[in-house]
Amino acid sequence: MTPPELAAPGAAGAALPIAAGPRELRTRELKGVALVFGAVIAWALTGFFTRAITTDLWTTMAIRSFAGMIVLIVMLVAAERGRAVTALLSIDRFGVGLAVAQFICAAATIASLYYTTVADNAVLYATAPFWTAALALVVLGERVKVRTMVAGVVSLVGITIIVNASLGQGRLFGDLLGVVMVVAFAVSIVMMRMRPTVAILPPSILNAGLNCLFALPFASLGSVSGRDLALLACFGFTNYGLAFVMFMAGSRLIPAAQAALIATLDLAIAPLIVWATHGEDPGLSGIVGGSIVFVAVVGHIVAGQVAARRG
């Protein structure tokens, strides 16, 4: 059965408790961290799928998004049963805005990779905790903890080490698109914190649909093999059915900057998965930089739990 926090209005917006004791707050934070970390693992599989799939970029995007949309619709039907259509059509302007922010983030990511290097794109993505912290402070009055900013700086250093060899070889337009990507990502996180009871599935379905429509005109659907189709279906399941839903559910339970910080683990874990599955050596810089990112994020989480226990 679909958890209530993943469903649509009526089941989905399951309100978070307004007041909670220290133990409840720690439990809520651990749940949020676990959900966001699960999303990161699902996102980190992107490298595995892109190496295994032989279709071009636009075909991959179109089918992956469509497959993800189908998975999300199935989840919505399972949660709402006979009210699925009503739940989907009842999405309000806030939900549409959330879906659009996620779509802009995804589209800007792809466009940025066309016009700049993967390295520049990765470093810009690593600045997400800082953009998110600033936006959360302005919009929500949510003050960021010093340890979160320290961990963010250390994580940024680690990612810079990973991509150092090709850093700075991109073009300005692509880097600007990378800024659009990270700002849209920050906006989507803060929106989840702004209205933690918002239904998750309808905006996720709309986001997947927009991504599919965006890529479809450039896709070559007739050239897709059965093997690639199966892999793309799994890709859509992990990227949308798992990653987006878990990240949205988790990011409303923890501070916005912390959610963005944990998301940077994607850049450290993804190369290791590709190394294990396709023998693509990340090199010494990848191992060292990835280790720094991992220690920074995990250290931040552990420090937060220790501080919470001490009261």
pLDDT tens for the chain, 311 residues: list them: 344 344 444 434 443 444 456 777 778 888 999 999 999 999 888 888 888 999 998 999 899 999 999 999 999 999 888 888 998 888 999 999 999 999 999 888 888 877 877 778 888 888 999 999 999 999 999 888 888 889 899 988 988 887 776 666 667 888 899 899 999 999 999 999 999 888 889 999 999 999 999 999 999 999 899 999 999 999 999 987 889 889 999 998 999 999 999 998 888 888 888 888 888 777 888 888 888 998 988 888 888 777 777 76
Dihedral of alpha carbons 115, 117, 118, 122, sign: negative
Chain center to CA of 174: 20
Structure-token match 């402070």, residue found? 137
DSSP readout, 159-178?
HHHHTGGGTT-S-HHHHHHH
Model's pTM, two decimal places?
A: 0.82
| Neighbour count for residue 222 (Cβ, 10 Å) | 6
DSSP structural state of residue 198: S
